[in-house]
Chain A
Amino acid sequence: NAGVTQTPKFQVLKTGQSMTLQCAQDMNHEYMSWYRQDPGMGLRLIHYSVGAGITDQGEVPNGYNVSRSTTEDFPLRLLSAAPSQTSVYFCASSPTRWEGTIYFGEGSWLTVV
């Protein structure tokens, strides 16, 4: 019973490098989203998807791309990493777009040097 699985757990990048954070859920949830959490702050929405093939921007989308080719997977791509993107990233899923219960992954700690 995996739930929401994120990889990698920890990553160090050099400025300008690109990488993809993987997210997969095995609950057949319609809704998936990516948040970032900075020290002393709440979670801020980066991108979200209401279903396969549909994505939209959240509050802080700049510097990130997403795609949703399957219901299960929702990868987050950093195009050209910057130190300001050092953060903890959480993937989340929800059964339907109207369901308030959001299930979070365990987080991915990203450091950009």
Chain B
Amino acid sequence: GQQLNQSPQSMFIQEGEDVSMNCTSSSIFNTWLWYKQDPGEGPVLLIALYKAGELTSNGRLTAQFGITRKDSFLNISASIPSDVGIYFCAGQLGTNAGKSTFGDGTTLTVKP
């Protein structure tokens, strides 16, 4: 099956710093999604990307759908303590929304 390589696995940053994480795949996807998971809760969708080359922002978050359709990145600018959590990328192939392949997550720690 398809696999996603998400990196880095974890990040320890200072409040105010910018963050960048990415996902790569050996096969193409039609949709890339980025989720955030807080402790004890389910993942919450941050950004959805539907077109190769698409660059989308949601507040301090910016994500891009790679031109090759095999990668995506997520940037967080001016991090704040509430950005702490696990960030997951997910790729979808075809028209099946729930058949997403998830990366293993990037755990973000923000030091005040």
Interface residues of A (CB under 8 A from B): 4, 31-33, 35, 40-45, 48, 50, 58-59, 90, 92, 94, 96-107
- Enumerate B13-34 residues with CB–CB distance to A below 8 Å: 31, 33
Of chain A, the residue at the smallest CB distance from B92 is A100
CA distance A61 to B75 in the complex (A): 34
Cross-chain pair count, CB within 8 angstroms? 73
New contact pairs (4) apart from A42-B6, A97-B98, A106-B41, CB-CB < 8 Å: A40-B105, A58-B99, A94-B97, A107-B41
User: Contacts A40-B104, A94-B98 given: A101-B48 contact, CB under 8 Å?
Assistant: yes
Which residues of chain A come closer than 8 Å to B88, judged between CB atoms? 42-43
Of chain A, the residue at the smallest CB distance from B44 is A104
Which residues of chain A come closer than 8 Å to B97, judged between CB atoms? 31, 94, 96-102
Of listed B4, B42, B95, B96, residue having the most chain A CB within 10 A:
B42
Q: Identify B42's interface contact among A94, A98, A99, A104, CB under 8 A.
A: A104
CA distance A63 to B71 in the complex (A): 33
CA distance A90 to B50 in the complex (A): 24
7 closest residue pairs by CB, A with B:
A104-B42, A42-B102, A33-B98, A94-B97, A100-B48, A43-B102, A48-B98
Which residues of chain B come closer than 8 Å to A107, judged between CB atoms? 40-42
B43 adjacent to chain A (CB < 8 Å)? yes
B78 adjacent to chain A (CB < 8 Å)? no
- Enumerate B59-112 residues with CB–CB distance to A below 8 Å: 88, 90, 92, 95-100, 102-105
Of chain B, the residue at the smallest CB distance from A99 is B97
Let me know if A97 and B1 touch, CB within 8 A.
no
CA distance A102 to B98 in the complex (A): 7
Of chain A, the residue at the smallest CB distance from B30 is A100
CA distance A107 to B97 in the complex (A): 19
Q: Identify A44's interface contact among B42, B102, B105, CB under 8 A.
A: B102
User: Contacts A100-B92, A101-B48 given: A45-B42 contact, CB under 8 Å?
Assistant: no
Which residues of chain B come closer than 8 Å to A103, judged between CB atoms? 45
Closest Cβ–Cβ distance, residue A4 to chain B (whole Å): 8
